[in-house]
Structure 1
Amino acid sequence: MSQDAVEATEKVTERRSWVIDIRPLRVTAYRRMWIGNGVSFFGFQFTSVAVPVEMYAITNSSAWVGLLGVAGLVPLLIFGLWGGAAADVVDRRKLLLASSMLAWIATVGLLVQALFAVNSAWLLLALTAVQSAGFAISSPTRQAIIPRIVPSGLVPAANTLAYTTTTAGGVLGPLAAGLIFAVSGTGAGVTTAYLVDAVLFTISFWATWRLPPIPPVEHGPGEDKPTAGLRGIAVGLRFLVTQPVLLLSFAVDIVAMVFAMPRALFPEVAVDRFGGDWAVGWLFSAIAIGSVVGGLTSGWIGRIKRQGLALVIAVVAWGIAIGLSGLAHSLWLMVLLLAVGGAADLVSAVYRQSILQVFAPDRLRGRLQGVFTVVVAGGPRLGDLRAGATADLTSPAVSWAGGGFVAAGLAVALAAAFPALLRYRPPAVQAAATDDDANR
């Protein structure tokens, strides 16, 4: 091969190294689950838009729409912990099938009540709660499955693929739902949205059904048999509080979301700073767009060995980007900075999830994923509360920009005070899947 050809090959390899790593898709079980999750999450976005639209149409009250958040959060907090504990006790494939069925039944219930024009706000709240309970159980179960079906060295790449796909669904799903409402109107649009979600959800069932059995690992000598009750949850929490690496990874995430999540301020800033509600769509989409771009250029993520340090840097970058965006008086500069923050958020999310999946022993992985689900779900909602309350006391600019810079500073302070996370490196990675794993 000529020197020019060699150099050309090296350049191609270098370019590809920045492209998202798709090697986990070679594992048949992961590929099926990735397709099912991506399609079902895209479908869920139709429901996530349709439910508040229908609630407002029924009640003509934003307060009732706000209650949907409470109806979804409470089951998430309760069943997220229980579902994680159950994932350590029973076959994870069976639990994922059962919890997915629960969420699908709730979606079908939403479709039926729309078809018959029941127009009950209380029924919408109840179905939202049931759907949230199904998600709360399935989410930690699904995350606990990944390290069982892909090699440990590909866990970061598998998580990056999953986050990128769901984030893309979070961008495209609401746009597609909005198009349906624009064409069909509220009544027919709500029914169509629920129907799309119910149909696409069946692909997730197929993917889960085709997974291999994933029974719990045998508990070692002297270890208590795991349970799905309060005692089992307590065992997971006791393990968590003795592991500085995991505690700090959770702590920096809470700091990032509570202090630097500005979405509650988007409507007010769109009107006051940019003169119209038209800007709010760009603000709500910007972080997700940045996450998608970050995911598509994430080929380097799996090669980083100092994952704890990379996590802290990503959280600091998120805080600084959010802080600077709060000071911007150009919409496009604000959107760009929010997108930068979204890319940093994707990186931090991938490392946080990967550290937990690899660091935690499999016998406790489900329970710790349950805690992770609660943290991930609760942090942004507490961030909304913090942003709104601080803006009322000061101003949107102070709440937005100040929160971002405070998050960056606190992340640095935590990492400096407790350096265990900075020192963390994943254990020796498994080079490749076995033929048996790859062909499941």
Structure 2
Amino acid sequence: MASILPDLSPLRTSHDFRLLWVQGLITNFGSSMAMVALPLQIAHLTDSPAAVGAMGAVELVPLIVFGLYGGALADSVDRRKMILGTEAGLGVLAVILLVNALLPDPLLWPLYVVAAGVAALAGLQRPALDSLMARIVPHDQLTAAAALNALRWQIGAIAGPAVAGFVVAYAGAPWAYSATVCGFAVSVLMCLRLAPAPAAHDADKPSLRGIAEGARYAWSKPVLLGTYAIDLAAMFFAFPLAIFPFLAEDLDAQWALGLMYAAIPLGSVLTSLTSGWASRVRRHGRLVVFGAGMWGLAMTAAGWAENIWLLLFCLILAGAGDMLSGLGRSTIWNQTIPEELRGRLAGIEVLSYSCGPQLGQLRAGTVAGWSGARTSVWSGGAACVVAVGVLAAVLPKLMSYDADTDEDALRRRAQKAESLAAAAAV
């Protein structure tokens, strides 16, 4: 069983990792409640798939701008302060959603404003969180930490949507937003207990030159480029969450909307709960490709499903594939990127796994408006499979990546050992 169950070593060895894990579990549950309530509220106000898909367009520019800037900022300031400030800002935006939902006639435009604000703050926060992992977790536990981080998110993403679907249907959006506000309040209190994580003394101030330096490094590494490209392709072509309300209506299963949102993270959590073997994997590039291909195939089948239970099963398989790909990507990033570039490269990572879903929502909503929700889902899944196959063929270094022989992974391992030895000497 030890070879199957998740490796809990990071929770045992790192106080800050334990704190962030619990904090993230709480806030993810609350955020997932809002994730269901917000698009459903837009759908009720507009009765338009394109209007729901437009959330992706509204979120895209703030995510790009603040994701890149947040990466540069994470290399220059205390990452604890970044996490604390952005978490408080997200809580304020949740309060705005709650106040708007309590109005006799809720307004549409604040929903888009809040969506853009959430994207901006998430773009600032995610590089600080991601770059902090490589500092607080031992090098040989990075894959286990990635699996545990994913498990934390998945628990909230399963419980939040599943509960939110019933809460919104029977009690209304204000109750879902109330849970979101409470989650962020608790999260801020827990973030106050994190140890300071200051930048290096010789770190440069955030600048376009610094961002460009990180981009040049990423461009020079085919393995990193491959992880970004495959994730972007998978999410752009096969991320149909925005049209789930219309898909549920098409199948005459509105009662299952919360379950549809929970099915993908359920597949991911099943992978995480059986991820003990992943710590022994060395060819993480192949894991990235296989998982993304599995995601696309499952979405193709989901689009053709005429039964709600078959659809839910396909979404569970898609989530399992996405988790496999995510484990490979996260491990490669943390194993190979130098500490002094972690924040800036984490900003680029935000673009790869956040902009893709936003563009994917826009694509899904647009295609659904033209040809229907189910066609949007299966056509996107098929395009994802083709794109992943092409990228795997033209990126042989990603397919041949080996953690035991890759020179960047070996260099990063040596740097981590030196920093630990220096800390012990002090």
TM-score of the superposition, structure 1-length normalised? 0.82
8 Å contact kept, 1:250–1:372: yes
8 Å contact kept, 1:86–1:366: yes
8 Å contact kept, 1:259–1:383: yes
In structure 2, do the counterparts of structure 1 residues 341 and 217 end up closer, same or farther at CA, with 3 Å as the change threshold? same
In structure 2, do the counterparts of structure 1 residues 52 and 279 end up closer, same or farther at CA, with 3 Å as the change threshold? closer
Structural mapping, 1:188-337, within 5 Å: 190=174, 192-217=175-200, 226-263=204-241, 266=244, 269-272=247-250, 274-278=251-255, 280-337=257-314
For residues 58 and 199 of structure 2, what CA distance do their matches in structure 1 show? Answer: 31
In structure 2, do the counterparts of structure 1 residues 230 and 282 end up closer, same or farther at CA, with 3 Å as the change threshold? same
For residues 321 and 175 of structure 1, what CA distance do their matches in structure 2 show? Answer: 21
Give me the CA root mean square deviation. Answer: 3.3
Structural mapping, 1:35-74, within 5 Å: 35-52=22-39, 62=48, 68-74=55-61
For residues 113 and 358 of structure 2, what CA distance do their matches in structure 1 show? Answer: 20
Aligned residues: 412
In structure 2, do the counterparts of structure 1 residues 437 and 335 end up closer, same or farther at CA, with 3 Å as the change threshold? farther
Give the match's secondary structure for 1:102.
Answer: helix
In structure 2, do the counterparts of structure 1 residues 321 and 276 end up closer, same or farther at CA, with 3 Å as the change threshold? closer
What is the Cα deviation at residue 249 of structure 1? 0.6
Question: In the alignment, which residue of structure 1 is the partner of 2:406?
Answer: none
Structural mapping, 1:105-124, within 5 Å: 105-111=92-98, 119-124=106-111
In structure 2, do the counterparts of structure 1 residues 435 and 34 end up closer, same or farther at CA, with 3 Å as the change threshold? farther
Question: In the alignment, which residue of structure 2 is the partner of 1:130?
Answer: 117
What is the Cα deviation at residue 119 of structure 1? 4.6
What is the Cα deviation at residue 396 of structure 1? 6.1
Question: In the alignment, which residue of structure 1 is the partner of 2:2?
Answer: 16
* CA offset digits 1:334-389 (Å, max 9, x no partner): 32232112101011112212211221111111111112112212212323344455
The answer on 1:419 being equivalent to 2:419 is no
Question: In the alignment, which residue of structure 1 is the partner of 2:130?
Answer: 143
In structure 2, do the counterparts of structure 1 residues 324 and 115 end up closer, same or farther at CA, with 3 Å as the change threshold? closer
What is the Cα deviation at residue 269 of structure 1? 5.0
TM-score of the superposition, structure 2-length normalised? 0.84
8 Å contact kept, 1:38–1:162: no
Moved more, 194-203 or 80-89: 194-203
Give the match's secondary structure for 1:211.
Answer: coil
* CA offset digits 1:216-257 (Å, max 9, x no partner): 2355xxxxx533232222111111111111101111111212
What is the Cα deviation at residue 118 of structure 1? 9.0
Structure with max Cα Rg:
1
Give the match's secondary structure for 1:257.
Answer: helix
In structure 2, do the counterparts of structure 1 residues 68 and 318 end up closer, same or farther at CA, with 3 Å as the change threshold? closer
The answer on 1:341 being equivalent to 2:315 is no
Q: 1:78 aligns with which of 48, 61, 65?
A: 65
Question: In the alignment, which residue of structure 2 is the partner of 1:5?
Answer: none
The answer on 1:359 being equivalent to 2:372 is no
The answer on 1:173 being equivalent to 2:160 is yes
Question: In the alignment, which residue of structure 2 is the partner of 1:222?
Answer: none
Give the letter for the 1:371 counterpart: I
In structure 2, do the counterparts of structure 1 residues 227 and 344 end up closer, same or farther at CA, with 3 Å as the change threshold? same
For residues 302 and 79 of structure 1, what CA distance do their matches in structure 2 show? Answer: 33
* CA offset digits 1:52-94 (Å, max 9, x no partner): 566677x566576665544433322221111111001111112
Give the match's secondary structure for 1:424.
Answer: coil
Gaps of 5+ in 2: 404-408
Same amino acid, percent of matched pairs: 36
For residues 136 and 297 of structure 2, what CA distance do their matches in structure 1 show? Answer: 36
Give the letter for the 1:170 counterpart: A
8 Å contact kept, 1:84–1:368: yes
The answer on 1:379 being equivalent to 2:366 is no
Moved more, 238-247 or 105-114: 105-114
8 Å contact kept, 1:328–1:334: yes
Question: In the alignment, which residue of structure 2 is the partner of 1:404?
Answer: 381
Question: In the alignment, which residue of structure 2 is the partner of 1:160?
Answer: 147
For residues 148 and 373 of structure 1, what CA distance do their matches in structure 2 show? Answer: 18
What is the Cα deviation at residue 181 of structure 1? 3.9
Gaps of 5+ in 1: 1-14, 220-224
What is the Cα deviation at residue 20 of structure 1? 1.7
